[in-house]
Amino acid sequence: MEAFEHVARVFLETKGYAVSTNVKFPVRRRTKKRAYEEYQEHGYEIDLVAARADELLLGSVKSYFGSFGLSRQFFREIADESKKKWWESNKMFNEPEVQAGILSGAAQRFDYPQDKIFLGLFVGKFKSGDEADIRAHLGQMHFGGGPVRLFDLPMIMRGVLTEAKHKTYRDDPVIVALKCLDELGWIAPAVPQEHTPEN
């Protein structure tokens, strides 16, 4: 599991979810051959599958630390035509057929009604200037029970820091690292309040 995926997992666990990682959903799709009808099955991997009594959340995790950040070019509806190869690699957010197959597969495998299944995107860093466009686009994209949920770094870390402030010991490297920093006084006494980025 990628390191930022683990941080996102801890965040979800603080919200009462039981979380599995790297779950593949097979999706049957027709090939581009025109001479005859042919289908192939591909497995599409979901980084985090988070189950709670009231819902199932399928999470895609994109850290982009050390790079320019998550760009609008990864989303077909808001990408420049010249960046087609970028969004083609991001099928779960750009191909309705893939989304429908994953949704159906998740409902069948985990026994949740489709209106109780949601898609979430966990982002560590946005490309400068692109965050508002990405937020607006995902807010209009419907999956299962509603729009795609966006979890940004401040939201994720508020949840994780709050968990680390608890006195109860939890044997998790993310929580223990934060407890070490807290013990040294290197973490502010209060968790920062929620901040909504300006559009």
Q: What is the pLDDT of residues 152-163, one digit of tens each?
A: 999 999 999 999
Question: Is 188 inside any structural domain?
Answer: no
Question: What CATH number corresponds to the domain at position 173?
Answer: 3.40.1350
Q: What are the pLDDT digits (tens) for 81-103?
A: 776 677 777 889 999 999 999 99
Instruction: Give me 156's structure tokens.
Output: 């994720």
Closest to 14 measured CA to CA, from 166, 167, 141: 166
- The residues near 15 (Cβ < 8 Å, ≥ 6 apart) are 52, 159
CA angle 103, 76, 152 (to 5 degrees): 70
Which H or E run contains 139? Answer: helix 131-140
How far apart are alpha carbons 173 and 4 in whole angstroms?
Answer: 12
Band the pLDDT of 190: cuts 50, 70, 90. low
Question: Is 66 inside any structural domain?
Answer: yes
Q: Which residues pair with 41 in a beta bridge?
A: 28
Band the pLDDT of 38: cuts 50, 70, 90. low
Question: Is 191 inside any structural domain?
Answer: no
What's the domain range around 141?
3-183
- Three-class secondary structure of residue 48 per DSSP: strand
Question: Is 120 inside any structural domain?
Answer: yes
Tally of domains within the chain: 1
Length of the chain: 199
Question: Is 199 inside any structural domain?
Answer: no
Residue 79 amino acid letter: A
Question: Is 140 inside any structural domain?
Answer: yes
Contact 98, 29 (CB under 8 A): yes
Question: Is 176 inside any structural domain?
Answer: yes
pLDDT given at position 199: 35
